[in-house]
Amino acid sequence: MSTSAQDTKQDQHVAKVIGVTVAAAVGGFLFGFDSSVVNGAVDSIGSHFELSEFFKGFAVAVALLGCALGAWFAGRLADKWGRKPVMLVGSFLFLISSIGTGFAWSVPDLIVWRILGGLGIGIASVIAPAYIAEIAPAKFRGALGSMQQLAITIGIFIALLSDSLLQDSAGGASNDLWFGIEAWRWMFFVGVIPAIVYGVLALMIPESPRYLVGNNLDEEAARILREVTGEKDPLNRVKEIRLTLKRESNVSLKDIRGPSFGLHPLVWVGIWIAVLQQFVGINAIFYYSTTLWQSVGFSESESFKTSVITGVINVVMTFGAILFVDRIGRRRLLKIGSVGMFIGLVLAAIAFTQQQGSGDSVTLPDTYGTLALIGANLFVVAFAATWGPVMWVMLGEMFPNRIRGVALGVCTAMNWIANFAISLLFPQLSQSLGLAYVYGFFALCAAISYFYVQFKVPETNGMELEDMGDLRSGKTIPTEVS
Ligand code: BGC
């Protein structure tokens, strides 16, 4: 074959991999969309069902418990049923939860629908990075894995935008929109569209070769490796995969047990990066930014605009990670992110020390309002370009094949539990302790995240998934990529 014909062939493979990845990352879009769509609806839900502040918060956060459960089981189900069927289950859960939440008639059924939606988000949060890592060639894996985060950020942004458009059209979220149904209910109905798109795409994409080899469907696996990833010697690759999967039968939680406080040391690394990703307080911004800015004296419309701008920054900065993750490596990017987040959070904490008033009538003197704004957005810039995507990329790729499904599920579930804790406690703690202390805590976590990466996180850049087993023996821990 001539060089140019080879190049064209290679380009086609790259295009196919990207197509497949986009399909898998639509799960990320739903994750972003469904977790933040409740923002625009929460006040109306509160007044419609006459909920106390605590239960209003609970109605928001309870979905995150569903996410934790979904993430916990998705890995194991994906190993049993295959990646595609699990994606279809996710799509079905998104669908019924969007319709059910929209039609919710009482608090108990609202909570059930929110939990079911959460299960779908949890499934999508595990299955997309696993699938992407399994189908993408090593040299593009980081960039392709970051597509999931890009999809999450776009999902968050579109949810905010759609909420505000519906609210605008009805002249208020609690007002009737079409067919005498209130606008806040339509906010949830909109989720039906991406849920269906996800289901259709899940039907169209190929099954993961690693799953197929694990189920003795070697020929099918070789075909997909040849056609999708452009593998030159697919049969040999199948053999390699088989070698690494050899002992993979009935993997369960006991397989991630190990000498380090009862767990495999790499699983601890995954758990800590997952928890730290939430403990820096990102969702105090994405679930509560409008309330936050109003609480320090911004007008409602200023607060709303600020939130939308932050949503855009979040999307745009994710491209930074896509460009750099495979070039400068995961560890270096995470450390740069920790420093940036720390600076942003400290600036915001300093600004919040100037809070005047209490309860609902808190304000900030002008200069400090600007400082808080700069600090919070700097934090989002740093998070979006580093910890946001890189944590998902690393969870998808850092575990040896044999335990990937289970370990990824456990770590992602911890990410959701940490998210639940912060989302539930943030409103109460910022009232009782004050925002300065809460942001001080987030800054402390950003500082801890730097040292954690420095001393504990291995570099996984450019390694084939089959070689991740070596991380276990400590052979490649920790190296800097030059
Ligand atoms: C986090 C989410 C967060 C989002 C913001 C993701 O990586 O896991 O909790 O809402 O980033 O873009």
Tokens of 451: 């040292």
Give the Cα separation of 432 and 151 in Å (integer).
Answer: 35
Under a CB-based contact definition with an 8 Å cutoff, are residues 390 and 333 in contact?
yes
Residue ranges of domains in the chain, CATH in brackets: 14-205+248-470 (1.20.1250.20)
Cα of 452 vs centre of ligand 1, distance in Å, is: 20
Q: Which residues make beta-bridge pairs with 395?
A: none
Minimum CA distance residue for ligand 1 atom 1: 388
* DSSP3 helix / strand / coil % (the chain, rounded to 5): 80, 0, 20
Under a CB-based contact definition with an 8 Å cutoff, are residues 151 and 132 in contact?
no
Q: Which residue has the tokens 């053999």?
A: 239
pLDDT (tens, 9 = 90+) of the chain, 482 residues, equals: 555 555 566 667 777 788 788 887 888 898 899 888 887 777 778 889 988 767 777 887 889 999 988 888 887 788 889 889 999 999 999 999 999 999 999 989 999 999 999 999 988 888 887 788 788 777 777 777 778 888 999 999 999 888 888 888 888 778 888 899 999 999 999 999 999 998 999 898 888 888 898 888 899 999 988 888 777 888 888 888 887 776 555 566 666 676 666 678 889 999 999 999 999 999 988 877 766 776 777 766 677 778 888 889 999 999 888 888 888 888 999 999 999 999 999 999 999 998 876 655 667 887 888 899 999 999 999 999 999 999 988 888 888 877 887 888 889 889 999 999 998 888 778 778 888 999 999 999 999 999 999 998 887 766 666 666 555 434 443 333 32
Closest ligand 1 atom, residue 314 Cα: 12
Give the Cα separation of 169 and 195 in Å (integer).
Answer: 24
Does ligand 1 lie within 6 Å of residue 148's CB atom? no
Q: Which residues make beta-bridge pairs with 356?
A: 363
Does ligand 1 lie within 6 Å of residue 419's CB atom? yes
Residue among 403, 458, 413, 397 at smallest CA distance from 135 = 397
Burial zone of 468 (CB within 10 Å; 0-12 exposed, 13-18 middle, 19+ buried): buried
Closest ligand 1 atom, residue 153 Cα: 12
pTM of the model: 0.83
DSSP 458: P
Minimum CA distance residue for ligand 1 atom 12: 153
Give the Cα separation of 272 and 3 in Å (integer).
Answer: 46
Closest ligand 1 atom, residue 286 Cα: 10
Closest ligand 1 atom, residue 35 Cα: 10
Minimum CA distance residue for ligand 1 atom 8: 388
Cα of 288 vs centre of ligand 1, distance in Å, is: 13
DSSP string, 56-68: HHHHHHHHHHHHH
Burial zone of 432 (CB within 10 Å; 0-12 exposed, 13-18 middle, 19+ buried): exposed
Give the Cα separation of 327 and 314 in Å (integer).
Answer: 21
